[in-house]
Amino acid sequence: MKSFLLAVWEVVEVVLVAVVTVFLIRTYIMQPFLVSGASMEPNFGSGNYLIIDEVTYRFREPERGEVVVFRYPDNPSTYYIKRIIGLPGEKVEIRKGSVYIFNSEHPDGFSLEEGYLPLDMKTPGAAKAELSPYEYFVLGDNRNYSYDSRSWGNLPKDNIIGIARLRLLPITEVQAFSY
């Protein structure tokens, strides 16, 4: 009977350590994210299974061009994935199919080069945004079918969960991302 109880205790101990480890990793280090919708095509498609790095932004600020997962400002229980376009303190303007950035280094603005988009992709609509020191402007890569900062405004820094680091599924598209 004593050996049986020891065996049960060992199983409980292993399960407990595994549960605590998974909880800590998912809460503080990384978590999975399933892409739903076409807003990030062609770079991320519906059904892509990603691993989100939650640690990097504790040591540095998000950078232009990075793909982030965040809580939607109007409903924090909903998660979105978009690309960072405008940084804190900048002004972003969308006109004639292009994105223009105005900041202290470029007070007259510059047209954003977006090598991650298809060559014929234009950014529809007209928008102007002024970002506070704690806000970002985000857009989906599929500019014609993305619900993003053009529709609902600037993204507060506190809503950002992390950066997309790894695509695990579909298996034929496994890829690590470096920006």
- Residue in 179, 178, 166, 150 with CA at minimum distance from that of residue 44: 166
Residues 93, 127 contacting (CB under 8 angstroms): yes
**Whether residue 39 lies in the annotated active site:** yes
Which residues have CB under 8 Å from 63's CB, separation 6+?
A: 84, 87, 179
Catalytic residue (one of 82, 122, 128, 149): 82
d(Cα 9, Cα 19) in Å, to the nearest integer?
A: 15
**Rg (Cα) of the chain, in Å, rounded?**
20
Beta bridge partners of 176: 166
Count how many Cα atoms sit within 13 Å of the Cα of residue 155 in the half-sphere of its side chain.
Answer: 29
Catalytic residue (one of 2, 3, 36, 39): 39
Helix, strand, or coil (residue 9): helix
**Whether residue 82 lies in the annotated active site:** yes
Active-site positions? 39, 82
